[in-house]
Structure 1
């Protein structure tokens, strides 16, 4: 992808988000664009940064660390880890990321807390919920959510911000909205249960269901191919 193509695709993604927010009757700044840059080279991330994008999502720890080292001069870049998180990778994530969207076990949360350097601000965390009940998907069930949230809120080096989900693909706006609405209601319930917590984040919505997610209150939408083009799955 050329720099011109990236500029056009990023502008198109921003326009799509703006239009979705307007259609939902929400303020233009109610949701942010998270550019999912997994498998994309650091040079492409640098160009997106030059075009004003600041938040980037990565799925693979080693790949992300290499890109972070190459882009270390971009002091205001914000790194989100959005992939499945194995316990043996928590130290690298705790030391090098600003956000983690995929916490779904107390063990992982405790390791992230214990390994987060004191010199850094607390790690921003979302709990991943398996909203569609898919056996192949990571995430906790709705019935486990309150217990895990309470445990994460007790960890001083983590800051629980909200919930994340990757729903099963669905056709049509109404069907897409159903699992996203359940996630929104779950966050509302957590806010009532833990009124002191900064629970302001719904990380949901990708290329196929952005409009449905915005209608259901998404505050972070994750777009990858819509910005950077088709992924090279051989890059890991």
Structure 2
């Protein structure tokens, strides 16, 4: 399934049956007949107009006038994002259950697009913090399905930096666990990386990319550092890598 998204530019007309909005497609391809969600509310895209003509679809980066069904249209506001869902709809709670246990959905979301959507929702300051945290976990689960665990520290870094450690033992916001998992991705010691850094231009390409990956991952540990005791071996390791980072390519 493709997660098409529409951002509301203006609501031109609305009543209990639906209404007309000017929207920008910010992802995927919007097609007449699709169902869109904002939170738990649903609306159907029943028609699209561009330059005075009726069209069947339009894609990312373009603006169109759309006819939507249902009273939800009257509740829409400028800047609000509508996300395409299957006709029966995938609520956040349904996606959580699917990723946790693998029950069948009418249309299985594409993991890459699900990661993109979840990351966007996680960073949406218009949503309640609790909902943003749940979207963060969806992003982590999608990365797991994509087989890209090395990208999970970036999501966990954001969650820890924005929301702090999880008081309920949330492993996704555990400062020590984040540091341990990032350090486990490094194939070098700080001393080895520091020794390679001055002559990095002469290194084989895989070695250069390894140093750059380490440099990009080191900041992921920054929001965790204040929660580690100064004598904690993890804190010592984090500080050592922070000192090495400026010299990495």
Bin for the TM-score computed over the shorter chain: under 0.3
**Higher radius of gyration, 1 or 2:** 2
When you count strand as a share of all residues, which structure comes out higher?
2
TM-score by length of 2: 0.26
When you count helix as a share of all residues, which structure comes out higher?
2
Bigger relative contact order (CA 8 A; separation at least 6)? 1
TM-score by length of 1: 0.27
